Amino acid sequence: LGKKARTFDLEAMFEQTRRTAVERSRKTLEAREKEEEMNREKELRRQNEDSEPTSSGSHVVRDRSKSSSRDTSSSESEESSDSSDDELIGPPLPLKMMQEPSNHMEEDILGPLPPPLYEEVEEDDDDDGDSEEEENPVQKIPDSHEITLKHGTKTVSALGLDPSGARLVTGGYDYDVKFWDFAGMDASFKAFRSLQPCECHQIKSLQYSNTGDMILVVSGSSQAKVIDRDGFEVMECIKGDQYIVDMANTKGHTAMLHTGSWHPKIKGEFMTCSNDA
């Protein structure tokens, strides 16, 4: 047999909470009134024991004192009721819930009741979530417009953007390196140049120099290349001696390259890393 899922009726929960609060306030008020009545009776007994009745005038004074004590007790009871109303903790209930009685069965409520401030805490959490979403820096990125650049049929493994942001170079597992010029691009969004600088080796990394006139091409081979911004080869690194174990005694790499990067300050210098280290 499947278990019945718990259902929570918020209106019934708040109604039960209100009834509990009213019942507690009433009991507290009755206890205070009883205690005050006992104190007044004790005080009157002491006054009767101390002073003996001598004349009818004294009886009149006593009657007046009793009536005044009753008036003061009634005023004190009203003040205590007001104070008990002020001592109620939590936000006031909606007028709809105060006027309309609850028509739901209390037997349908399963599980413990939530605290009186449950709904208020949820509203505060929602406000905090909205403020966090408004302060999210990702939403400040101007991404209302976009285009799709078709590089090829295989994975695009390298991207390079020149410092001015006018050109983009892409490389992939199809061995191709393509040049994209945003200023001269038409509605077809095609690259203005495509080449294979490293023959049959996958492109690992592409990076423009700080001046934007050269591009460092790192492929799956052991030799990195430098080409200019139009795709013409400028230089190629030498290949290391594969029969020398100590890499300090050879000038080039002997295994597949991973990535490379230009020197941030010195023009014409770059570094590479590979599996031979």
Look at residue 4 and tell me if it is in a domain: no
> What is the per-residue pLDDT across 135-176, written as a single tens digit (0 to 9) for each?
778 778 878 888 889 998 899 999 999 999 999 999 999 999
- Least-confidence region, from 54-63, 240-249, 255-264: 54-63
Q: Which domain holds residue 81?
A: 10-134
Give the least confident one: 138-142, 178-182, 199-203, 213-217: 138-142
Residue 146 lies in a domain: no
Verify that 25 and 128 share a domain, yes or no.
Answer: yes
- Average of per-residue pLDDT across 105-113: 54
**Higher per-residue pLDDT: 94 or 120:** 94
Could you give the CA distance from residue 251 to residue 242 in angstroms, rounded to a whole number?
Answer: 11
Higher pLDDT, 215 or 127: 215
CA angle 167, 237, 172 (to 5 degrees): 45
Has residue 143 been placed in a domain? no
The CATH number covering residue 233 comes to 2.130.10.10
Confidence of residue 5 (pLDDT cuts 50, 70, 90): low
Claim to verify: residue 189 and residue 124 sit in the same structural domain: no
What's the CA gap between 84 and 89, in Å, rounded?
10
pLDDT in tens, 87-98: 556 666 666 555
State the DSSP string of the chain.
Answer: -PPPPP---HHHHHHHHHHHHHHHHHHHHHHHHHHHHHHHHHHHHHHHHHS---SHHHHHHHHHHHHHHHHHHHHHHHHHHHHHHHT--SPPPPHHHHHSPP-S-GGG--SPPPPTTHHHHHHHHHHHHHHHHHT-GGGGS--S--------SS-EEEEEE-TTSSEEEEEETTS-EEEEESTT--TT---SEEE-TTTTS-EEEEEE-TTSSEEEEEESSS--EEEETTS-EEEEPPBPPTT-S-GGG-SSB-S-EEEEEE-SSSTT-EEEEETT-
pLDDT for the residue 57 = 46
Closest Cα partner for 169 from 86, 226, 128? 226
Q: Where is the domain boundary, 134, 169, 197?
A: 134
Mean pLDDT value of segment 227-256: 88
Range of weakest confidence among 40-54, 68-82, 126-140, 227-241: 68-82
The domain total for the chain is 2
Residue 78 has pLDDT above 80, yes or no: no
Query: Can you give the pLDDT at residue 3?
Result: 61
Clarify whether residues 30 and 96 are in a common domain. Answer: yes
On whether residue 225 sits in a domain, the answer given is yes
pTM over 0.95: no
Residues 16 and 129 occupy one common structural domain: yes
